[in-house]
Structure 1
């Protein structure tokens, strides 16, 4: 197991040696400068991210699921992305899930020893009934968390796609992965505090993976969230705006059609642009596997 002193994420950043004596302005300027390095680091691992998106998309079309697995900050970042998928894309909560070392109690307070337990990672994946159709993304900035290694090892054992996401080159979790994403963001301004650059990079990468996968899965028309789940006033207003932008009808007409669909955006757009009723729009969408553009094209 790699010693912490050999990990890039644990080394001292020479730019912040006097952090405790810097002015507020200087601290913020330095943090901003360091954060600008994140997109460059991500750019270097775009091929691995692309592989990951293809794996997730392949999983989705085969009734598979996406699991984020991590401890501490890494687990919380996975949860943040997972819980945004149902309202944004109307996916079932089971489609994208987060598994955190120590369970949901670990969201607020660290559960002692959980992240160091290899077998617990195996156990938690078994509890979720992982199959060969699923994708497991193990997240660990250090790249050495035993809990994540256990989860990835079990994923590989049963034939699920195992993907590692870390911020150190040659990470230990990469040895348990079919695809290894090692996004090297360098030393943190606060030594070892990987909730900073490393975590930000991981959050950005998970955004890319889930969003791009959902685009390929038919959850988007043009650049609009056509599968948004309208559960409150704000989201219903957003639905009207989306239908208006996609079809150029007035807000009033958009609302009128949305009322007929129960505020489902996809059939509303198809009804307007294909000039069909609700039942026909639903049939066209069913035939196109949910792709709005294809459904409209098929109507012609």
Structure 2
């Protein structure tokens, strides 16, 4: 019987109980590395998807994510992290998760079979024409995720689909399909292992490339962050000192006047202007600090 790769059994998994702990861990790590090799093969597809996400971001469109189970958790992680890391506006982010927020603690599997729920969640998400939806499904055939993509197609929403099996419905439905052709899992079907690592890496690459092209990542710094806790304030002070060669005192004062917004504080220092004028200039340059460095 020919099984999809995500359900197949890795031949090296046989006899694991007879191996030492170190040998088992080494094998697990090997398969993780091989899963990441699949991401390298998908770089051209990832590049096209990143360009689509960049265009949507520049157009102030909404960005949605959809998924179920562990693949949905990978999508959720990316959705939640983008505002804090790169300053994506949280009010423009949407998460469509099978079973909703109440399913996050228990991950009941029945919700992923509900295609109609995917349609419903998309229709109530506010996503529409000009927006973009990123769907993650290791199998590429999760009914809930397919439901969100079918509704997206009907609404004129662009789609980026990540799957770990080739020739699957999710990839066929996607405007920007990304095949992450990872090997069979050491524990057959446990796609929170290698498949999830590949998904996470691909999503990280997409968002980081977009942030770089939009000027949200400059000289290796997250300049679009808003410093709202002690750790981020300390990081913001270091960023300002590195980018502007200012003193620690100037960095602290400027950041406070800028309400914790690093780009605003940097431009205040570089141009010797107040926060209001710095915000105006940044808006005129689509939030890109790079021309002033």
Same fold (TM over 0.5): yes
The 1:93/1:279 distance shift into structure 2, 3 A limit, reads closer
Q: Does 1:266 align with 2:263?
A: yes
Whether the aligned pair in 2 keeps the contact of 1:221 and 1:291 (CA below 8 Å) is no
Picking from 196, 199, 204, the partner of 2:201 is: 204
Aligned to 2:57: 60
SS at match of 1:255: helix
Q: Deviations over 1:143-180 (max 9, x none)?
A: 11111111111111111112211101111211211121
Q: Partners of 1:94 and 1:265 in 2: how far apart?
A: 20
Residue 13 and residue 138 in structure 1: after superposition, are their counterparts in 2 closer, same or farther (change >3 A)?
A: same
TM-fit CA distance, 1:84: 1.1
Structure 2 partner of 1:116: 113
The question of whether the paired residues in 1 share the 8 Å contact of 2:78 and 2:203 is answered with yes
Report the counterpart of residue 102 of structure 1 in structure 2.
99
Structure 2 distance, partners of 1:286, 1:137, is: 27
Q: Paired residue for 1:49, among 36, 46, 49?
A: 46
Residue in structure 1 matching 2:35, options 38, 43, 58: 38
Cα distance in 2 between the residues matched to 1:150 and 1:282: 41
Measure, in 1, the Cα distance between the counterparts of 2:276 and 2:113: 54
Pick from 82, 87, 91: which aligns with 1:90? Answer: 87
TM-score, normalization by structure 1: 0.92
Indicate the residue corresponding to 2:232 in structure 1.
235
Between the aligned partners of 1:35 and 1:273, the Cα distance in structure 2 is 44
* C-alpha distance in structure 1 between counterparts of 2:275 and 2:148, whole Å: 45
Cα distance in 1 for residues equivalent to 2:263 and 2:6: 44
Is 2:251 aligned against 1:254?
yes
Q: TM-score, normalised by structure 2?
A: 0.95
The yes-or-no answer on 1:221 pairing with 2:236 is: no
Residues 227 and 262 of structure 2 are in contact (CA less than 8 Å); yes or no, is this contact kept in structure 1?
A: no
3-state SS, counterpart of residue 221 of structure 2: coil
Q: Distance in 1 between matches of 2:268 and 2:226?
A: 18
CA distance in 1: counterparts of 2:253 and 2:239, whole angstroms: 14
Structure 2 residue aligned with 1:143: 140
Match of 1:161 in 2: 158
Is the 8 Å Cα contact of residues 74 and 140 (structure 1) preserved in structure 2?
Answer: yes
> 1:112 Cα deviation (Å)?
4.9
- For the residue of structure 2 that corresponds to 1:188, the secondary structure is coil
1:89–1:229 contact (8 Å) kept in structure 2: no
SS in 1 for 2:160: strand
How big is each residue's C-alpha offset from its partner over 1:113-155, in whole Å with a ceiling of 9 and x where there is no partner? Answer: 2111111111100010211111111211011111111111111
Equivalent residues of 1:165, 1:202 under 8 A apart = yes
Give the superposed CA RMSD: 1.6
Runs of 4+ in 1 over 4 A off after TM superposition: none
User: Which deviations, in whole Å up to 9, do the C-alpha atoms of 1:37-74 show, x marking residues without a partner?
Assistant: 12321111111111111111111122212211110001
Contact 2:263 2:289 in 1 (8 A): yes
In structure 2, the partner of 1:7 is 4
Gaps of 5+ in 1: none
What residue ranges of structure 2 are gaps of 5+ in the alignment? none
* Higher relative contact order, structure no. (Cα contacts within 8 Å, ≥ 6 residues apart): 2
